[in-house]
Amino acid sequence: MAKIKFSALMSDMRGKLNGSVLSKNRGGSYIRNKVTPSNPQTTAQMSVRGIFAGIASAWSTLTESQRLSFNNKVSQYASTDIFGDIRNPSGKALFQKLNQNLSISLQATLTSCPDSVAVPFANVAGATADISATEFGVDYDGDATGSKIVIWATAPLSQGTTFVKNKLRQIQVANGNNAGSVDIYDAYVEKFGALTPGANVYIGMRTINENGQASPLETIKATIVA
């Protein structure tokens, strides 16, 4: 559904409308044809969708006081919308978002809403795969103590590919520390197969605290050596 921001007439329009997508970049506003991506419905995709559907339906099983705990704290979890305006989520949307983050980071789900706190950045510093040593270290220098570090990766991409957000797949969850390194070699090979020297691979990393709050996704190109 297209989103419109009105001024005297209209100042901005974003989203999907019939067969078109309306958006804006540094060059200004634009319209492009909507492309429907393939939906292979893999086992992993169906599993994640099942978990998220279960979380959505769990809202109705909460007590009234538990639902109020989320409804009353939505302003603490306000975010910026596509137009740059501050918006509060609904209590149900907040419940789903926090618990989805907790689910993907293998943490216990919430039935009452905690107060919002600052989320530490992992500050991903480097990613190097040493094929001969069967090691793939993702280094970070932030203090992620008490949080989980969730790591995504891409399959080897064609050289020159740099837009990777839609190509990242979650492969591992690790305990956060005050700076450190996570070896993802086994997890990567299990997901994507053997690595080759010089492959174009990207890694994504974010921290998720025990409240279900997540840091922005950080991405870095990995170095693959023999």
Give the domain ranges of the chain.
43-104, 124-225
Confidence at residue 40, expressed as pLDDT on a 0 to 100 scale: 62
Confidence at residue 39, expressed as pLDDT on a 0 to 100 scale: 60
Q: What is the DSSP letter of 224?
A: E
Which residues, in sequence order, are bridge partners of residue 204?
152, 219
Predicted TM-score (pTM) of the model is 0.79
Q: What letter represents residue 171's amino acid?
A: I
CA end-to-end span of the chain: 48
Instruction: Encode pLDDT of 24-57 as tens digits.
Output: 665 556 677 665 555 666 666 666 677 778 888 8
Instruction: Yes or no: say if 169 and 217 are a contact pair by the CB < 8 Å rule.
Output: no
Distance CA 159, CA 156 (A): 9
Distance CA 152, CA 176 (A): 15
Sign of CA dihedral 208, 212, 218, 224: positive
> Which residues of the chain carry a pLDDT beneath 70?
1-14, 16-19, 21-30, 33-48
Q: Is 176 left (phi over 0), alpha (psi -120 to 50) or beta?
A: beta
Fold of 124-225: Coagulation Factor XIII; Chain A, domain 1 (2.70.50)
Separation in Å, CA 81 to CA 28, 94, 123, 178: 18, 15, 25, 32
**Nearest Cα residue to 126 out of 205, 56, 69, 198:** 205
Q: Considering only the C-alpha atoms of the chain, give the largest distance between any 2 of them, rounded to a whole number of Å.
A: 64
